[in-house]
Amino acid sequence: MTHLTAIVLTYNEAHNIAECLKTLRFADHIIVFDSYSTDDTVAIAQAFGADIFQHAFENYAEQRNAALEAADEMTDWVLFVDADERISDALAAEVRNTINLPEYAGWRLPRHNYIFGVLTKGAGWFPDYQTRLLRVGQAHYDTRRHVHEVVKLFGAQGTLLNPIIHYNYQDVAQFLEKQERYTNMAAQNLRAQGIRPQPQNYILQPLRHFYWRYITLGGYRDGWHGLRLCLMMARFEYRKYQQLDALWHA
């Protein structure tokens, strides 16, 4: 029988982890790969019966690679799930059927993103494909991408039909705090590539980003909610170049 391990990366996810783990009972094995949480994340996961690995966080790509390595000799397939994500019964059944297909190295899954409690389908938040179902030994994360990490597959990739359910931002404050961290990582990536901010970047890049999300990716279809999200994401394009400039002058 093909063995499936679900892996959840965590850091201070006590408010999420129990509900997440409840939806992973279909897996043969569950690993909580923790970055030394200071709340009750580990205790809750242990009570649930998950195996705990702790590993210092460097970036998302390195953390996922370390988790893959930890699971290497114990499973055939890995399904990565974030603590604020849930797996429906339909997706669970699809995953179990899919891992018996021999010709694939990995599968990408669509994702339903609930932002401020609203299912958001425009502005790039759907289908928001995530390559999360990986055949062990045939997948590796690109360590040059520290955030919004990219997996390299040594074989064919398929696409599942049923979406992951993602409760990613509960309120505006959480959205702003998390996007600020992502923006800082993106600025560090640009700095590592030797890219310097140009005066026009502060105007043209936010405008292009807004047009891309609101018009090209259909943010307008989500009404006021979509407009607000696109404006905030355009602001973070501006912040990225501000932070890049600060890195060059540090």
Q: How far apart are CA 111 and CA 89, in angstroms?
A: 15
Same domain, yes or no: 212 and 157: no
Same domain, yes or no: 22 and 134: yes
Domain boundary among 168, 192, 212: 168
Domain boundary among 123, 149, 168: 168
CATH of the domain at 8: 3.90.550.10
DSSP code of 211? H
pLDDT digits (tens, 9 = 90+) for 127-182: 999 999 999 999 999 887 666 778 999 999 999 999 999 998 989 999 999 899 99
Same domain, yes or no: 149 and 204: no
Residue 2, pLDDT score: 86
- Mean pLDDT across the chain, nearest whole number? 95
The domain total for the chain is: 2
Q: Which domain range does residue 192 map to? A: 171-248
> Mutual orientation of helices 223-248 and 201-211 as an angle, nearest 10°?
150
Residue tagged 């989500």 (tokens) = 222
Q: Are 32 and 17 in contact (CB under 8 A)?
A: yes
Domain boundary among 120, 140, 168: 168
Same domain, yes or no: 54 and 28: yes
CA angle at residue 119 from 167 to 159, to 5 degrees?
A: 80
pLDDT band at 122 (very low <50, low <70, confident <90, very high): very high
Evaluate the omega torsion of the peptide bond into residue 127 and state whether it is cis, within 30 degrees of 0: yes
Same domain, yes or no: 188 and 72: no
Residue 59, pLDDT score: 87
Same domain, yes or no: 180 and 80: no
Same domain, yes or no: 12 and 112: yes
Residue 97 pLDDT exceeds 80 = yes
Same domain, yes or no: 162 and 186: no
pLDDT digits (tens, 9 = 90+) for 221-233: 999 999 999 999 9
Residue 144, pLDDT score: 77
Same domain, yes or no: 73 and 137: yes
Radius of gyration of the chain, Cα coordinates, nearest whole angstrom: 19
Same domain, yes or no: 179 and 155: no
Q: Exposed, middle or buried: residue 205 (CB in 10 Å: 0-12, 13-18, 19+)?
A: middle
Same domain, yes or no: 9 and 119: yes
Residue 91, pLDDT score: 98
Same domain, yes or no: 13 and 105: yes
Residue 192 pLDDT exceeds 70 = yes
What token pair was written down for 38?
């200071």
